[in-house]
A and B are shown apart, each in its own frame.
Chain A
Amino acid sequence: MHGDRQVNKVFTRIFAIFWKDVLTELRTKEFVVSVLVFALLVLVIFSFAFGARTETTELVAPGILWVALTFGGVLGFNRIFAVEKENSRLEGLMLCPVDRAVIYWGKLAGSFTFMLVVAVVLTPIFLALFNLPLFLPRLALIIVLATLGFAAVGTLFSAVAINTRARDIMLPILFLPVVVPVIVAAVKATASVLADKPWSDMLTWLQIMIAFDIIYLVVATLVFEFVVEE
């Protein structure tokens, strides 16, 4: 009984931090709107750069979607802790009588949700632009797994980047090489879905993304307290 209450407490605290971010986002719409517009621009620019045509769709479309979501993610994750720098909000957050891991999970829930909203709006636009079928439940699964991996790493490195000089460039430099496996897996799995191949074809890629998500959720939870020590 006591253990249950402890677990409930942790979830309530994570939810409180998450809800604070959601309320801020609902009032400013800073994250979703700016990241979405940017990702859409990347989509358009890359379509021009690769000369996307009907014949080349299968070859370039998965890559273009994931470049847009990755770059959009970099831009978004930068905001996750950067907004806390204004008005010393970070100090306030650190003074919360909660475990540092709780703060990480609260911020992670926020960044994951916002990125998911961006992906949910962006993907149908992408599918329409490339004349692909609009209803792809398997693609939704890939997006959830990849976004979770991005958010796990992005939230951790966002907290690192805010206390460095040139923080806007520091986050992509840290984030991009680490998420290479997710990008490879997401692109391959998306290609498999768009080519309408059977489930078994994308299973390995899903496994890689699940493994990546679990590893980084655990590791980031463990090391986050060292990032926000003072």
Chain B
Amino acid sequence: MNGGKRLRDSILFGLGLALMMAALYMVFIYVPTEKNAGIVQRIFYFHVPVAWVAFLAFFITFIFSILYLWKRVTKWDAIAHASAEIGVLFTTLVLITGPIWAKPAWGIWWTWDARLTTSLVLWLIYVAYLLVRSFATESARGARYGAVVGIVGFIDVPVVFIAVSLWRTQHPTAIIFEGGLTTPMLMTLVVCVVAFTVLYVLLTIQSANLKAMQANIERLRNIYLE
């Protein structure tokens, strides 16, 4: 890795760390407790940014899957793969923090609401993405299959969302935003979203670099050892 990249990663790391600290301070000390929802509402500042990163990650996978099939740059496949892994991780976090919040807020762990169900289906699609990559008989095939699933799966998201919203029409959305967001709440949310986005970029760069190096080693081994 050259100096420029190292500097960029250090800056990202420092920025991420500072933002994360600021986010923690704002969530636990700065922002006032929401009157109706109580203390548990503070998980909102974690849940929403995590969900945003999950969708962002799958969108990046979609874009880089198309680019990879088009131009066949190994690095782009590495980015798509890394982003999908992080997306699955963050969707898992969404599916864990959601029920933790839902139980005290709505009295139930789970409801087959459009958002929840779409997140669950999304998680299943991208777990399939990771499985098809690791089950492919060779890594070049895995990259192509992954790209195809990355495209086909992402296009499914709006269709799933529409179908599921019509399937179960009751929306608990209103409960979350009752009375709207006050300025401190909004500011805290924005800082949290930015902090998690920086974390996502940092993780994706690191993971994609690692994957690109692995692919390079495999290529060199194929050239010189066989």
Instruction: Give Cα A154–Cα B32 distance, bound, in whole angstroms.
Output: 52
Measured CB to CB, the closest approach of chain B to A227, in angstroms, equals: 6
Instruction: Give Cα A184–Cα B160 distance, bound, in whole angstroms.
Output: 9
Interface residues of B (CB under 8 A from A): 69, 121, 124-125, 127-128, 131-132, 135-137, 141, 144-145, 147-149, 151-153, 155-156, 159-160, 162-164, 166-167
7 CB-based A-B contacts, threshold 8 Å: A156-B152, A163-B145, A164-B136, A170-B132, A173-B128, A215-B155, A215-B159
How many residue pairs bridge A and B at CB < 8 Å? 85
Interfacial chain A residues near B132, Cβ < 8 Å: 160, 164, 170, 173-174
Contact across chains for A208 and B152 when beta carbons are under 8 A apart: no
Measured CB to CB, the closest approach of chain A to B33, in angstroms, equals: 38
Q: Which residues in window 200-229 of A have CB below 8 A to B?
A: 204-205, 208, 211-212, 215-216, 219-220, 223, 226-227, 229
Q: Which residues in window 136-165 of A have CB below 8 A to B?
A: 153, 156, 160, 163-165
Interfacial chain B residues near A229, Cβ < 8 Å: 144
Instruction: Give Cα A181–Cα B159 distance, bound, in whole angstroms.
Output: 6
Least CB separation from B131: chain A residue: A173
Q: Which residues in window 62-117 of A have CB below 8 A to B?
A: none
Contact across chains for A188 and B167 when beta carbons are under 8 A apart: yes
Contact across chains for A178 and B148 when beta carbons are under 8 A apart: no
Partner of A181, one of B124, B137, B162: B162
Known A185-B163, A219-B152; 10 more pairs at CB < 8 Å: A165-B135, A165-B137, A173-B127, A174-B128, A180-B121, A181-B159, A181-B160, A212-B159, A219-B155, A223-B152
Q: Which of A164, A176, A220 is the most central at the interface, judged by chain B CB atoms within 10 Å of its CB?
A: A164
Contact across chains for A223 and B136 when beta carbons are under 8 A apart: no
Task: Given A170-B132, A185-B163, A211-B159, verify A177-B124 contact (CB < 8 Å).
Answer: yes
